[in-house]
Every structure is written in structure tokens, then in C-alpha cells.
């Protein structure tokens, strides 16, 4: 019977794409190849948004808040006053039916709350926009009300407790003017004058201003002592707090740092006051720490030796300076607003905007909506429904929640706001915080959100953490509802001055831009300047201590420039990534990442921070500390910092002016290659130091990295400068720790005062590649202090970079091998896949999950040869056609593993002591069943070779196998008890390198072979759709099931339990990335002439 007509059959179509070398699709077809910014030859970026283009659908309605009327037809000549989705609108029922474009008049301020009540369609979104030809200026949406009424100058009786009442004015608004919760009423007022807005301060002490742009706390007070438990107790500063009336601080708050590692500024209520001690009682949320539980007694004052800054706010007696106000919530004149303008003038006639609306546009469970060409200003920071985590509690101008697909916010301006855009599916969770959040966003559900686009927006002065914030979720327990986040684009946005009133979390990284748990994302062309936390924060895969599988994770973070970040917290990065990849971080600039000194004397800010990140490729980035001519001893703390991760590759980056160039964990199976490190004051390279606070607080003692040193590669780097060493025992050039009789704190540090000494130490630790590079006398960069990061004329960086193969991320990769030589044991080929399954419960145990190393039947160092994908190592393995093959046993890939974490009775991840075995059966492995799968290989057959196996797993009765048949053709064989067959493609035994993909789609009953670039005639094979390929045989590379061995070289091999479509990609995109992608070019997009230069930029030649 013809397989094409058999019910439930599998049709495998072989498509050959061939030439001697891959002929990739053009990379410029894909967004990831475009810079999305103006790239300067010196290694800098400039914001380059795409121009706004007015787009309208078929049914257009016009809105003019000033002169419109909801009884009008909504035409341009007779517009509506309000949007029909505004609860205050007075339209006839069904006024929005069929409408796909709403145009707001330029030059007019719209005030109200718009809640989406309909969805558009794919290709026909509902648009909220403006038309440049209708009106003048900007189409404005305000979250505020204008304060009208007659202001009166105070007397002492009218302003009890307020100093200098004759300088204060009041306006009676009534106690129902702001219906937020008591502690958050009237939380923001702006004065509009001379074309600019001035934010008035809530009555505070001290009346601080920023005098040092790198330290906004210079005008704040410092706590002296803390008496209490870890985060709740008495904070004292007698000089500024003692001797006041007992009710002086009633209703007040403090904005404070804390003594724990992150030290993040947060807002906390004053609960009690002790006038004699000059102390206030506070109860900071979890994560804050003023005294370690191991230091001192809670009933004795603990001296705060680190600078823990604070200021007091919302205290009537602190209304003592121009530019302040106080709203009396429940005092003797409830509802009265007291005010001093910034110039102490009469407020009558002044234009004052008071925040009232939290989110002027809300999109809940609606799809295909576009917001564009609008300007948003002056919203409220809380409506009494504060949720947790902070992205739920955020107050964005545009809020996107729940089941939403195809929502775009583009070409908008957000000026003087709390947050700009926040989007999230409802998360997971139980308990009080979850219940509080559900009062705001509804019950947690299995939401799916995707195709979110936030592009070409301009954000200035955003109070809270996450000016732009898109957040998915992980599953906390099996069966629990959780929100999935698909694809996200955050492109070409500019965020200036964010996070200065970040919220209530004492551990927040206070990001300007945050994209968390998107399956795929592109974050590119964004410009961030002056952020109190991260410039960009990302988290890939799934959170720690969750149980869900992650079929696909692929993050692209490129061409972003982040300046002056981490001003208000500690131990985070200017550009930061947590958790799973693959992630690609390239062509970014991260400068002056500061950090605070709340935990140690060092400012713990890291320009690029991989915090428990796995399978990350970082290349062509420029990381720079700030040069201060008046302080020549001032350096950035650390350029690149990684803890707890592995498979993190750092190559061809430029790192300048830091205490430590590279620091943290070494990880394992990682490469540090072709980087230029210039002017490091303490050391160029420092890893696995026992006691490093960022490592310890992440749970990494350095032991896992030390175990991984034999898998590491350090080569082709260029070092310039004369570091003097950091702590005692750390070499001036660098150090790598971890070897010692005891794990963790008892481990030994191997240091080197010179490159040669560190090389010897790494070699003694059996490091895979320990050449490190060269230490040169002349500066290899042109003028990095003046932001010119190009190689200097005659630079030692010339020709010392690397070509590094970077595979494109696929779905459910269960095996990946690069066949690198140089290891202490040449019979082991390291596994390099990373696929987060339910087994990945807690990041502290990821390293123990089977890595799928291959074991060779026989091999010596000389059997590894130079392949075309890389030039820094012998990265291909020669198979002799007789006695060499590699094996990963079925037993090894499916063995149970004892972990220090397990699932508790409620299905949540808990610690296990002693460790509990995790069964191997649920693990998805190289054993295929009825699932889709893909085999990718880059190989060279010996000329004329026939009959050898490339890769497969079969026991003879069931399984799969890719190899070369007796005529030298590529052949894919599938077997099952229900039958099977062999499919053949073009001949590949010509002694040339070939790239091949065999793809099997069981759901669609089709498959394809791709070989280099040419299409061959189709061949077909019939097999029952439910036929299983599962078997107990071993996975073997280099030998067929019939025993015939492969003769030739293999450079790269990868097995995925999914198709290209499952990975949301195409063969054209994969080829373009792998053979013409950004890793093969420099920061400016140039291909190298000859061997690649070290660092992010190619030399001019």
C-alpha cells in the first residue's frame, strides 16, 4: 500500500539543501541581525526609534475630551468626549461595535480610565492612537486631576503642627477626594510651569537633593543603631529623631536602605516612636535585614557600621521647605491639602496636577489591541489594591493582564509616571499575598499571554521599579494554575531616570526594563540612563523552586546601552540574567554600574551579571567603569560576574576600568576567550573565592565551579594594566579557588601575580585550556576613557579574537556535543545541552542532573582535529571507521539521582536531608517515543566512505539512526515493532564538510532532511502514527546498529525532541544565525578580515 494513502501513516520527506559549505539565508532578513539603534564606530549606541506612522482601520471614531460629546456620532467633525470603554462614558449601547480605530485629538488632555471591552483580530487590531493631521501638539492622557479652588494662606490655628504656617497655603479637598487606602492618598502632585513639570515632595526630613550623580544618598540621614530582630525593631538616629512630641511621626513613613546584601531602598511605615531614644519602630518585609540573627542580641543596640541611609516622609511637621505638601487624611482638618510651592509663591493661578488614576488604560483578557502615538502623564502609585509580587503592585499607565495575545504599545511618551507599561499573565501562588493580588487582578488561572510588543517609546521620570515590565510565571506545584508567557519584543525604547521611589520590596533589583519568563524574547535597541537598579533584568526558563517543564527558552538581548545604573540597590547588574537559556547577550554597552555600600565597603554593582544563569552566550559587549579624573583611584566594581551557572561562554568582549575584570564562579563547561581586559585595579580574573558574598548568598560556595575547572577554557584574551591584588592571598593578576580538603569555605585559592603563575595554577587543576592569552604593556584600545573602544593602531588585540560556534536555540534539546579536545581525559566528550524539565526543581541541584557526556571506545589527544566552526581549539573528533565510537548508555541517561531537594506533601519543592532519589523514568531523554524530534550534525565523511553510522539509539527492533548508506548517501532509519524503513538523501561522502538536519514531525506525519542547501527528490516511508521508537538500546555516535563504523570527522551534534516549528523558527533562520550570525561579526556588524580581533570591535584596516 502506498504510504501516502495509508491511514495514520508517517510520511518522511527528504529535502536536501546542498553545497560543499553551508549557504545561509541572509542574516539581515531577521530582526536579531538589525541593531535597532545607531551604532557608532567607537563602540557606542544612540537611540534610533522607528518613525511614527499613523495607521487606521476600516471603522474610525474620534475623541476630543475638550469639545466632544458622547451623543455625537464620533466623526472627526463631531467627535465623542470619552472612549466608550471609559466607565464614565455616556454612549449609546453598542457604540464600540465594529470599531477598530479610536483617534485621540492632539493638543487635548484626556482624563479617565479606559478598560478594554473588546478584542481585535489578527491583522486587524483595535487601535487607540492619534492622527498628526488632527490637532496640534501631543494627544495626552493624564492620570491626574487639576487642583481647582481658592487657596488660602494658613494661620497657626488652620495648620496645627506645621512650622512657619504663614508660608503655607491650604485647600480643602474633602476626605473623599482621594479614595485610595489611608496610607496612600494624594501620593503625587506636579506643578506645571514654563513648559515643564516639577514634582512636589511629600513633607519630609531631610529636604534632600542629589549632589553626586553616582550616590543619590549623600543628602539622606544615616541610621546609627538597630535594636530588634532581623528586620523589625527600633532604628535609631538620636541626632535627628530625639526629643520630638510623642505623636510627631504618626502617619509617617521612612524610605530606607537596609543591611542585607541587596540593601534595596524601600518604603515602610513608622509604627511607633521613642522620643528619648530617638528611634522609630519599623517592620520591613522579608528579605530586609538590619542585624544578622548571628550578630548581637535583639534586645541590645546593634551598631550599623555600614552607611544605611533613610529619610522620613508624610509627616506634617516636616512641611518646612518650598516644594513640599502634606495631605491631612484624618487630622483636625481631614481632607485639607497644605502646600508650599517650589518658589514659595501664591498657588492661586498655579497649574497643579494631583495623581488619581492608577492605570488610564487597562487591557484585561483582551487581544489584538494597539496603543500608539499617545503621551501619558501623572498617574497614581496605588489604588489600595497593592498586589504582590511587585509587578502586580506596579502602577503602569498601560496595564496588560491575563489571556492577551498580540498587544502592542508603540511610539508613546511616558513622562512623570509611576510605571509606563506592565504586562503579565496571572501567576501562581497561595496564601495571603496571593489572595491580596487576586482582589486586584482576579483569580489565578492558566493564562496564556504572548506576542507582546513594546517598542519605540520614550519614558522619562518613572517612579517605581519596572518602567517597562513584562512578567510570566512558573508552576509552584503540580496541578496549580500558572501563567505562561510566549513571545515578547521590547525594542528601541528609551528610559531616563527610573526607580527613585521603587516600592515596598527590600530585595528588588529596581529594573528600568524587565522581561521575566518569556519563552522567546528580543530585547534590543533600548537606551537606559540613570536607573536606581538594573538597566535591563531578564529571567529565562522558569523560576527557582518550580515544577513545570520549559519546552523552549530563547532570549536575544542585543544593542542596548545602559549608563549609570544600580544607584539604589546592591548585588545586581546593569544588565542581568537569571536562570535558563539559551540566551544570547551581544553588542550591548553597559557602563557605570554603581551599587551601594550597605553590605560591604565595596559597591557591589556588576555591569553584566549572570546570576544562576545557564547556557548563555555573551559576546561583542562593551563593559566599562566610570573614569573620574578627580578620583583616579575610583573604579567600577566588576565587569562580568557569574554565580552558580554553567555553559556560560564569554568571548570577544571589551572590559575596561574595574576593580575586578571577571569575578564570581567559574561554573563549568564554560569558555572565556578573546576578551580584552584593560585597567583592572585588583585583578583581571577572580573565580571561586570562598567567602565571596554574592556567591554565598546565592548558595554557591565555589565548590561546583572548582569541580568544573577541568571542563573550562581560558585562552586568547588580551590583558593590559597592573592590578595590585585584592584580598590577601588573591594574586595580583588573578586567582581561581575551590581546590581543598573541604568543600566551600575550606577550599584553597590558587592565585597568580602574573599571567604565567595563574596559567600554571589552572594547568595544575587540569583545566581543559589554560593558556589565558597575553599580558601586554601597551594599551590595546584607542581611548576608552573618552568612550573610544576601538583597537589602537598596532594593537595586541589584532588577530587574537576567536571564532566561536553559537547554535540557534531549539526546543527540548536532550543532547548537544561540540567535540572539543584538550581535556584531561580524551575519551570523554562533554555534554552541553540544557533543557529545563520538572526535574530542575532548585538551581542548587541543576549541576547534578545527568549531563549526557559521551564516552569513547578509544581516543587520544591527537584524535581531535581543527574543524571549520571554531579556530581556538581542535573542536572536531576524527572517527577512524574501525574502532572508535561514542556511547551514552540507556542506563546513564535514565538513572535515578539523589537530590537535596524533593517535592513535599503539597507538591512544592522542599529541601531533603538526606537527599531523595529522583526517578529517571520521567526524564525526557534521547529515547524517542511517538514525539517529534530532530537530529542536527555538522560532519565530514572520508572521501568514498560508505556504510557508517553518525548517531542513533536503537536496539534493532525499535529506534532511530542517522548515517551514511552503502552508496555514500545520508540515510535516516526508523524502526518500531509496527514496521519502519530507511530514507535516503544525497551523497555526502565527498570529503567535504556538510550540515544536515533530519526532522521528524509525528503529529503532522511528515519529516524532512536538510543537507547544506540543495533540494533533492522526496522519498517516503510509511509507519503507523502511534508506532513507538522507544527502546532500551544505548545512544551511539560513530557506529551503526549493524556494527559499521563511521569514517570522518564530527564537529557538532545535537538532538532535539521537537521540530523547527516547535522551536518557532525555520531552516532559513537557523542557517542565517549559525553561519552568518552576529557572533561572526563585530560590534558594528563587520566581518573580520582574517582572524578575528580580540574584544568587541575589529581594528580599522
CA separation, residue 184 to residues 384, 503, 507 (Å): 7, 12, 21
Tell me which of 510-514, 764-768, 861-865, 1053-1057 is least confident: 764-768
Residue 1014's pLDDT band (boundaries 50, 70, 90)?
A: low
Same domain for 943 and 1055, yes or no, is yes
Average pLDDT over residues 666-690: 93
**Pairwise CA distance, residues 1011 & 987, whole Å:** 10
Residue 440 within a domain:
no
| Chain mean position to CA 1012 | 34
Beta pairing, strands 969-976 & 979-987? antiparallel
| CATH code, domain with 968 | 2.60.120.200
User: Among 286, 313, 340, which residue terminates a domain?
Assistant: 313
Total domains present in the chain: 4
The pLDDT of residue 1084 is above 50: yes
pLDDT of residue 1010: 93
Among 678, 673, 625, smallest CA distance to 654 is for: 678
Average pLDDT over residues 958-966: 97
Same domain for 238 and 93, yes or no, is no
User: Among 313, 347, 378, which residue terminates a domain?
Assistant: 313
Average pLDDT over residues 540-558: 97
Same domain for 245 and 156, yes or no, is no
Among 603, 550, 619, smallest CA distance to 579 is for: 550
Return the SS3 of 411.
coil
pLDDT of residue 431: 72
Residue 950 CB: number of other CB atoms within 10 A?
28
C-alpha count within 13 angstroms, C-beta hemisphere, residue 695: 27
Among 945, 1054, 1062, smallest CA distance to 998 is for: 1054
Tell me which of 476-490, 626-640, 929-943, 996-1010 is least confident: 996-1010
Among 415, 419, 421, 418, smallest CA distance to 376 is for: 415
Residue 1019's pLDDT band (boundaries 50, 70, 90)?
A: low
Mean pLDDT of the chain: 93
Return the SS3 of 764.
helix
Residue 194 within a domain:
yes
Residue 20's pLDDT band (boundaries 50, 70, 90)?
A: very low
DSSP state of 9: B
- DSSP-assigned states of every residue in 252-311: -EEEE--SSSS---EEEE--EEETTTTEEEEEPPBTB-SS-TTSS-TTS-EE--S--EEE
**Pairwise CA distance, residues 356 & 209, whole Å:** 26
Same domain for 950 and 834, yes or no, is yes
**Pairwise CA distance, residues 549 & 547, whole Å:** 7
Same domain for 229 and 178, yes or no, is no
The pLDDT of residue 234 is above 70: yes
CA separation, residue 176 to residues 62, 189, 330, 507, 523 (Å): 33, 17, 11, 34, 43
pLDDT of residue 21: 43
Residue 699's pLDDT band (boundaries 50, 70, 90)?
A: low
Average pLDDT over residues 1020-1029: 76
Percent of the chain clearing pLDDT 90 (strictly above): 82
Same domain for 78 and 198, yes or no, is no
Of all helices (H) and strands (E), which one includes residue 760?
helix 755-764
pLDDT of residue 15: 40
Residue 706's pLDDT band (boundaries 50, 70, 90)?
A: low
User: Among 246, 279, 313, which residue terminates a domain?
Assistant: 313
pLDDT of residue 2: 33
Bridge partner list, 462: 417, 498
Tell me which of 22-36, 353-367, 752-766 is least confident: 22-36
Segment 311-351, tens digit of pLDDT? 999 999 999 999 999 999 988 899 999 999 999 999 999 99
The grid coordinates of residue 829 equal 566528550
Residue 693's pLDDT band (boundaries 50, 70, 90)?
A: low
Please, what is the Cα angle at 866 between 863 and 868, to 5 degrees?
140
pLDDT of residue 505: 94
CA separation, residue 1035 to residues 288, 344, 476, 889, 1038 (Å): 50, 80, 34, 6, 10
Beta pairing, strands 484-491 & 448-449? parallel
- DSSP-assigned states of every residue in 572-584: EEEEEEEEEEEEE
pLDDT of residue 1013: 62
For residue 914, say if its preceding peptide bond is cis, omega within 30 degrees of 0: yes
Same domain for 1020 and 882, yes or no, is yes
Is residue 433 classed exposed, middle or buried when 0-12, 13-18 and 19+ CB atoms within 10 A define those classes? middle
Same domain for 270 and 329, yes or no, is no
Bridge partner list, 63: 80, 104
Contact 499, 533 (CB under 8 A): yes
**Radius of gyration for the alpha carbons in the chain, expressed in angstroms and rounded:** 31
Same domain for 173 and 289, yes or no, is no
The pLDDT of residue 608 is above 80: yes
Same domain for 198 and 226, yes or no, is no
Q: Which residues contact 250 (CB under 8 A, 6 or more apart)?
A: none
For residue 582, say if its preceding peptide bond is cis, omega within 30 degrees of 0: yes
349: domain range?
146-203+319-355
For residue 769, say if its preceding peptide bond is cis, omega within 30 degrees of 0: no
The pLDDT of residue 696 is above 80: no
Same domain for 923 and 998, yes or no, is yes
pLDDT of residue 1101: 76
Beta pairing, strands 654-664 & 636-643? parallel
Residue 520 within a domain:
no
Residue 167 CB: number of other CB atoms within 10 A?
17
Same domain for 323 and 309, yes or no, is no
Residue 1051 within a domain:
yes
Average pLDDT over residues 978-983: 84
The pLDDT of residue 782 is above 70: yes
Average pLDDT over residues 409-420: 99
Q: Which residue has the higher pLDDT, 667 or 276?
A: 276
pLDDT of residue 442: 87
Contact 445, 406 (CB under 8 A): no
**Pairwise CA distance, residues 644 & 835, whole Å:** 17
pLDDT of residue 102: 99
Is residue 906 classed exposed, middle or buried when 0-12, 13-18 and 19+ CB atoms within 10 A define those classes? exposed
Return the SS3 of 915.
strand
Amino acid at each position: 500500500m502506498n504510504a501516502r494513502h495509508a491511514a495514520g501513516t508517517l510520511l518522511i520527506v527528504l529535502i536536501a539543501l546542498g553545497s560543499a559549505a553551508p549557504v545561509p539565508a541572509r542574516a539581515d532578513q531577521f530582526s536579531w541581525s538589525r541593531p535597532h539603534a545607531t551604532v557608532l564606530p567607537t563602540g557606542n549606541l544612540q537611540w534610533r526609534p522607528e518613525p511614527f506612522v499613523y495607521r487606521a482601520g476600516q471603522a474610525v471614531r474620534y475623541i476630543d475630551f475638550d469639545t466632544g460629546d458622547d451623543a455625537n456620532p464620533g466623526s472627526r467633525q463631531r467627535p465623542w468626549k470619552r472612549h466608550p470603554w471609559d466607565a464614565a462614558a455616556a454612549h449609546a449601547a453598542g457604540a464600540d461595535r465594529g470599531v477598530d480605530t479610536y483617534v485621540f485629538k492632539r493638543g487635548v488632555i484626556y482624563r479617565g480610565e479606559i478598560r478594554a471591552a473588546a478584542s481585535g483580530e489578527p491583522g486587524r487590531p483595535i487601535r487607540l492612537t492619534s492622527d498628526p493631521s488632527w490637532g496640534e501638539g501631543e494627544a495626552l492622557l493624564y492620570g491626574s486631576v487639576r487642583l481647582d479652588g481658592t487657596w488660602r494662606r494658613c494661620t497657626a490655628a488652620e495648620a496645627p503642627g506645621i512650622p512657619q504656617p504663614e508660608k503655607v497655603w491650604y485647600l480643602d479637598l474633602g476626605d473623599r477626594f482621594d479614595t485610595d487606602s489611608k496610607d496612600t492618598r494624594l501620593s503625587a502632585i506636579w506643578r506645571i510651569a514654563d513648559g515643564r513639570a516639577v514634582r512636589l515632595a511629600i513633607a519630609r526630613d531631610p529636604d534632600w537633593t542629589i549632589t553626586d550623580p553616582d550616590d543619590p544618598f549623600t543628602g539622606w540621614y544615616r541610621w546609627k543603631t538597630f535594636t530588634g530582630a532581623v528586620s523589625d525593631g527600633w532604628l535609631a538616629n538620636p541626632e535627628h529623631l530625639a526629643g520630638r512630641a510623642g505623636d510627631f511621626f504618626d502617619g509617617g513613613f521612612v524610605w530606607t536602605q537596609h543591611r542585607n546584601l541587596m540593601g534595596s531602598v524601600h518604603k515602610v511605615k513608622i509604627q511607633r516612636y521613642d522620643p528619648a531614644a530617638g528611634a522609630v519602630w519599623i517592620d520591613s518585609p522579608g528579605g530586609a535585614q538590619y542585624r544578622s540573627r548571628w550578630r548581637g542580641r535583639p534586645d541590645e543596640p546593634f551598631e550599623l557600621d555600614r552607611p544605611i541611609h533613610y529619610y522620613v516622609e508624610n509627616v506634617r511637621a516636616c512641611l518646612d521647605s518650598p516644594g513640599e505638601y502634606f495631605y491631612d487624611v484624618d487630622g483636625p482638618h481631614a481632607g485639607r491639602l497644605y502646600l508650599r510651592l517650589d518658589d514659595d509663591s501664591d498657588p492661586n493661578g498655579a497649574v497643579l496636577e494631583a495623581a488619581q488614576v492608577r492605570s488610564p488604560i487597562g487591557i484585561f483578557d483582551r487581544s489584538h489591541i494597539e496603543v500608539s502615538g499617545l503621551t501619558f502623564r501623572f498617574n497614581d502609585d496605588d489604588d489600595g489594591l497593592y498586589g504582590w509580587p511587585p509587578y502586580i503592585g506596579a502602577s503602569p499607565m498601560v496595564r496588560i493582564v491575563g489571556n492577551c495575545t498580540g498587544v502592542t504599545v508603540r511610539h508613546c511618551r511616558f513622562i512623570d509616571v509611576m510605571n509606563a507599561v506592565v504586562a503579565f499573565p496571572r501567576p501562581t501562588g497561595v496564601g495571603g499575598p496571593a489572595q491580596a493580588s487576586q482582589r486586584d487582578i482576579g483569580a489565578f488561572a492558566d493564562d496564556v499571554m504572548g506576542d507582546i510588543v513594546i517598542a519605540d517609546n520614550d519614558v522619562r521620570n518613572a517612579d517605581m521599579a519596572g518602567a517597562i515590565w513584562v512578567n510570566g510565571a512558573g508552576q509552584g506545584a503540580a496541578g496549580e494554575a500558572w501563567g505562561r508567557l510566549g513571545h515578547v519584543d521590547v525594542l528601541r525604547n528609551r528610559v531616563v531616570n527610573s526607580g527613585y521611589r521603587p516600592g515596598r520590596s527590600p530585595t528588588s533589583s529596581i529594573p528600568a526594563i524587565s522581561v521575566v519568563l518569556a519563552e522567546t524574547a528580543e530585547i534590543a535597541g533600548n537606551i537606559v540612563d540613570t536607573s536606581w537598579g538594573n538597566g535591563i533584568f531578564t529571567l529565562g526558563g522558569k523560576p527557582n523552586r518550580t515544577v513545570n517543564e520549559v519546552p523552549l527558552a530563547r532570549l536575544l538581548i542585543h544593542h542596548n546601552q545602559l549608563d549609570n545604573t544600580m544607584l539604589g540597590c546592591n548585588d545586581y547588574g546593569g544588565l542581568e540574567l537569571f536562570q535558563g537559556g539559551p540566551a544570547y547577550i551581544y553588542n550591548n554597552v553597559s557602563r557605570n554600574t554603581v551599587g551601594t555600600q550597605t553590605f560591604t565597603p565595596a559597591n557591589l554593582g556588576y555591569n553584566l551579571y549572570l546570576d544562576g544563569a545557564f547556557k548563555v552566550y555573551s559576546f561583542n559587549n562593551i563593559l566599562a567603569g566610570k573614569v573620574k579624573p578627580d578620583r583616579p583611584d575610583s573604579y567600577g566594581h566588576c565587569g562580568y560576574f557569574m554565580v552558580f551557572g554553567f555553559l556560560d561562554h564569554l568571548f570577544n568582549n571589551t572590559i575596561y576600568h574595574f576593580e575586578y575584570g571577571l569575578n564570581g564562579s567559574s561554573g563549568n563547561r564554560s569558555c572565556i576567550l578573546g576578551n580584552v581586559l584593560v585597567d583592572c585595579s585588583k585583578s583581571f580574573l577572580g573565580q571561586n573565592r570562598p567567602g565571596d558574598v554574592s556567591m554565598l548568598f546565592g548558595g554557591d560556595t565555589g565548590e561546583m565551579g572548582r569541580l568544573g575547572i577541568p571542563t573550562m577554557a581560558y585562552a586568547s584574551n588580551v590583558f593590559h594594566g597592573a592590578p595590585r591584588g585584592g584580598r590577601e592571598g588573591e594574586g595580583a593578576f588573578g586567582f581561581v579557588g575551590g581546590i581543598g580538603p573541604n568543600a566551600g569555605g575550606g577550599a584553597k585559592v590558587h592565585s597568580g601575580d602574573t599571567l604565567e603563575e595563574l596559567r600554571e595554577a589552572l594547568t595544575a587543576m587540569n583545566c581543559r585550556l589554560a593558556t589565558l592569552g597575553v599580558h601586554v604593556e601597551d594599551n590595546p584600545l584607542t581611548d576608552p576613557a573618552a568612550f573610544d573602544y576601538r583597537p589602537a593602531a598596532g594593537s595586541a588585540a589584532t588577530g587574537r579574537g576567536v571564532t566561536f560556534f553559537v547554535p540557534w536555540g531549539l526546543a527540548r534539546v536532550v543532547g548537544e556535543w561540540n567535540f572539543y579536545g584538550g581535556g584531561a581525559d580524551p575519551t570523554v566528550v562533554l555534554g552541553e545541552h540544557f533543557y529545563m524539565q520538572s526535574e530542575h526543581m532548585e538551581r542548587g541541584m541543576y549541576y547534578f542532573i545527568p549531563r549526557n557526556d559521551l564516552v569513547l571506545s578509544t581516543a587520544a589527544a591527537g584524535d581531535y582535529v581543527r574543524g571549520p566552526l571554531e579556530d581556538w581549539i581542535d573542536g572536531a573528533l576524527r572517527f577512524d571507521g574501525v574502532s572508535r565510537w561514542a556511547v551514552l548508555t540507556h542506563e546513564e541517561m535514565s538513572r535515578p539521582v539523589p537530590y537535596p531537594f524533593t517535592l513535599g506533601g503539597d507538591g512544592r519543592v522542599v529541601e531533603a536531608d538526606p537527599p531523595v532519589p529522583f526517578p529517571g523514568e520521567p526524564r525526557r531523554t534521547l529515547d524517542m517515543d511517538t514525539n517529534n524530534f530532530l537530529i542536527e550534525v555538522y560532519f565530514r565523511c572520508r572521501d568514498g566512505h560508505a556504510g557508517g553510522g553518525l548517531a542513533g539509539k536503537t536496539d534493532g527492533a525499535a529506534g532511530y539512526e542517522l548515517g551514511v548508506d552503502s552508496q555514500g548517501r545520508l540515510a535516516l532509519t526508523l524502526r518500531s515493532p509496527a514496521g519502519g524503513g530507511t530514507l535516503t538523501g544525497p551523497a555526502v561522502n565527498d570529503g567535504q564538510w556538510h550540515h544536515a538536519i533530519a526532522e521528524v514531525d509525528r503529529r503532522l506525519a511528515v519529516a524532512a532532511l536538510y543537507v547544506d542547501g540543495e533540494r533533492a527528490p522526496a522519498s517516503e516511508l510509511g509507519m503507523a502514527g502511534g508506532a513507538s521508537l522507544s527502546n532500551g538500546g544505548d545512544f551511539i555516535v560513530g557506529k551503526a546498529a549493524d556494527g559499521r563504523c563511521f569514517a570522518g570527522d564530527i564537529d557538532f551534534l545535537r538532538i532535539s525532541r521537537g521540530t523547527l516549528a516547535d522551536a518557532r523558527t525555520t531552516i532559513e533562520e537557523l542557517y542565517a544565525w549559525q553561519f552568518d550570525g552576529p557572533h561572526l561579526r563585530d560590534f558594528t556588524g563587520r566581518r573580520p578580515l582574517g582572524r578575528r580581533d580580540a574584544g568587541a570591535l575589529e581594528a580599522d584596516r
